[in-house]
Structure 1
Amino acid sequence: MTTNDQNQGILLAGASGVLGGHITRALTEAGHEVTGLGRSRENGIRADLMDRDALLRAVDGHHFDTVIHAATALRKPPMRDRDMYATDALRTQGTAHLVEAARATGARRFVVESMAFGYGYGDHGDRPLTEDDPFGPRGGTPRLERHIAAMRTKERLAFDAEALEGIALRFGLFYGPGGTDALLPPLRGRRLPVPGDRARVLPWVELTDAARAAVAAVERGRPGQAYNIADHTPMGFRAHVEAVARVFGLPEPMTVPLWLMKPLSYAHTMMSSRLRMSCAKAEHELGWTPLYASSGEGLAALRSASHR
């Protein structure tokens, strides 16, 4: 096991995002010094990952031990394929630019946020996928290939970066503080339809658990490796949203046939997929295990915290 748990200076791209905020807190509590990188004013270094020259100017003269790429262009859940295009670009050009910036700062470790759908959209059956399964298979349509190619490229850039220890965290779908909040108003007004099919399940991970995995990767991740990060209870969109409604005392969501969601092309693709992941490698090598074994447990903790 590689151990780098001494206090590190860490540059976090995407620190002002929901996941980035949780990662910042978790790293700080672990004794590391975090500098945010992004376009908003709350970042210690203000720069756009898509502007290579401006990014390199912004980091000039700074030194960091580790750089983390958790930047996203998403401000709400993606519904249509075009909602992913800006994030696709961040995963390709943005990552390439950040690799250059990491080298310029003298960083040794480069950790990237990856995700479960990099294994491909569609039905993967009931066998939990491991990190040895193919990642980034060619997409079945041009639009899906655009998304998968971006995830494939992001990991490859991290692993192939000269003089950097690349590590990828393949997260399940996020929920929890700052993430679940967006579901509450439409649920309250019964404006959030869910597919009636219960057979398709996906991996989930609570946001503070995801942040703990990022700390573990910084401190104990093995260079050149990917790690699946999810809880122990795969769950379909319908079951997850129903759990949100139940825990927060909101009306049960209305159900619709899956085909009726086809105009919401990206959401339809996700909800049509079935995917399970094994996290045994993360548990063994990173010493990470989720505090919340299911989204039901994580949602109950979120509800309890909201009443304090």
Structure 2
Amino acid sequence: MKVLLAGASGALGRSATRQLTAAGHEVAGLGRGATNTLRADLLDADAVLRAVDGLAFDVVVHAATALKGETMARHQSMVPTNALRTRGTENLLDAARATGARRFVVESMMFGYGYGDHGTGLITEENTPFGPRGTNTWLERHVGAMRAKEQLAFTAEGLEAISLRFGFFYGAEVTDNDVVPLLRKRSLPVVADRGLAFSWVDIDDAARAVVLATEGGTPGQAYNIADRTPLSFGRHLQEVAAAFGAPKPLRVPLWLLRPAPLAHTAMTSQLRLDASKAERELGWSPTHDDSLAGVRALASAHRAAV
């Protein structure tokens, strides 16, 4: 198939491009970066349509974000990604229709279920509403953008839409390039986990879910994509530090994160995803049951390569 991938230069996009190509598909990246096949700002509707003019695609994948390390800290840092999830989705849907695409795959994430402590039970696509409306203005903007991205795709006439709701990413594209350097500088602190846990997913496993969603799955459905063992943020980082020989992350009291309100909110949240629907319907499964095993395997491969 011919696949138009918005966000091809990002961590997920790079892995998805490799795996889609290996599966025999033809991929064109769309975005502002120089590595994209088609150059356009996703927020510029006219530029997007000009970029795809005269081209035909079978599937469009929306994996474009502006997420960086500091995005987890302050609400304002999420504004560009919120725009990509709303106006960017509208523009990309227009491009999908203009190019004759039949399927539209969107990247989403677990925080779309709402920030906060969801308890120790597993969140399925059916037992927990996605995109709940909140009273906190900033959190509503973030969650609302994820809600809008899915709704725009699911209600788009003439397109089969699938949403992938990912846990926290780790893996070669993330751990090696972003997390380990910060740990070596001791600039990535953790707080006491208080029994709270998140779901995690290896970036290459996440990309494999993108490939499977372009090829199958039920239109109009969302799928949780995460490994089988939720883990606290601190425990995950401790394992990364140990596996890669970095100093232990600094442990700080939660109140020190108040100047970084989004990080404070995230660190007091708990979201444990159940990905069994993706295993049944997409044929997807995680390479490792938990991120601890995944990080150890990643570090072992890194040492072997060196």
- Give TM class, smaller chain: over 0.9
| Aligned Cα root-mean-square deviation (Å) | 1.0
Contact 2:193 2:233 in 1 (8 A): no
1:299 has 2:304 as partner: no
Runs of 4+ in structure 1 over 4 Å off: none
* Helix, strand or coil at the partner of 1:306: helix
1:103 has 2:81 as partner: no
The number of residues matched between the two structures is 301
AA aligned to 1:124 is H
1:232 has 2:228 as partner: yes
AA aligned to 1:141 is N
- 2:12 is matched with 19
CA shift at 1:193, angstroms? 1.3
CA shift at 1:191, angstroms? 2.4
- 2:246 is matched with 250
Contact 1:242 1:252 in 2 (8 A): yes
1:140 has 2:135 as partner: yes
AA aligned to 1:121 is Y
* Helix, strand or coil at the partner of 1:85: helix
Structure 1 distance, partners of 2:187, 2:32, is 33
CA shift at 1:190, angstroms? 2.1
Structure 2 distance, partners of 1:304, 1:46, is 37
Structure 1 distance, partners of 2:96, 2:144, is 23
- 2:146 is matched with 151
- The TM-score normalised by the length of structure 1 is 0.96
CA shift at 1:37, angstroms? 0.5
Q: How does 1:238-277 map to 2 (within 5 A)?
A: 238-277=234-273
AA aligned to 1:247 is A
Structure 2 distance, partners of 1:192, 1:45, is 35
Structure 2 distance, partners of 1:234, 1:118, is 17
- 2:26 is matched with 33
Q: How does 1:17-166 map to 2 (within 5 A)?
A: 17-78=10-71, 79-132=73-126, 133-166=128-161
AA aligned to 2:243 is V
Structure 2 distance, partners of 1:252, 1:76, is 19
CA shift at 1:268, angstroms? 1.1
Contact 1:171 1:210 in 2 (8 A): yes
Structure 2 distance, partners of 1:224, 1:218, is 13
Superimposed CA distance per residue, residues 97-156 of structure 1 (whole angstroms, 9 cap, x where no aligned partner): 000000000000000001100000001001101111210001230000000100000000
Structure 1 distance, partners of 2:107, 2:201, is 13
AA aligned to 2:208 is R
Structure 2 distance, partners of 1:192, 1:101, is 39
AA aligned to 2:270 is R
- 1:189 is matched with 185
CA shift at 1:182, angstroms? 1.3
Structure 2 distance, partners of 1:146, 1:216, is 30
Superimposed CA distance per residue, residues 40-99 of structure 1 (whole angstroms, 9 cap, x where no aligned partner): 121111111100011111111000000000001123341111111100000000000000
Contact 1:209 1:292 in 2 (8 A): no
Superimposed CA distance per residue, residues 171-198 of structure 1 (whole angstroms, 9 cap, x where no aligned partner): 0011111211312223123222100234
Once the two structures are overlaid, the 10-residue window that deviates more, 237-246 or 183-192, is 183-192
- 1:205 is matched with 201
Distance 1:209 1:131, change over 3 A: same
AA aligned to 1:84 is M
AA aligned to 1:42 is T
1:280 has 2:279 as partner: no
CA shift at 1:295, angstroms? 0.9
Contact 1:198 1:238 in 2 (8 A): no
Q: What are the ranges of 5 or more consecutive residues in structure 1 without an aligned counterpart?
A: 1-7
Contact 2:189 2:250 in 1 (8 A): yes
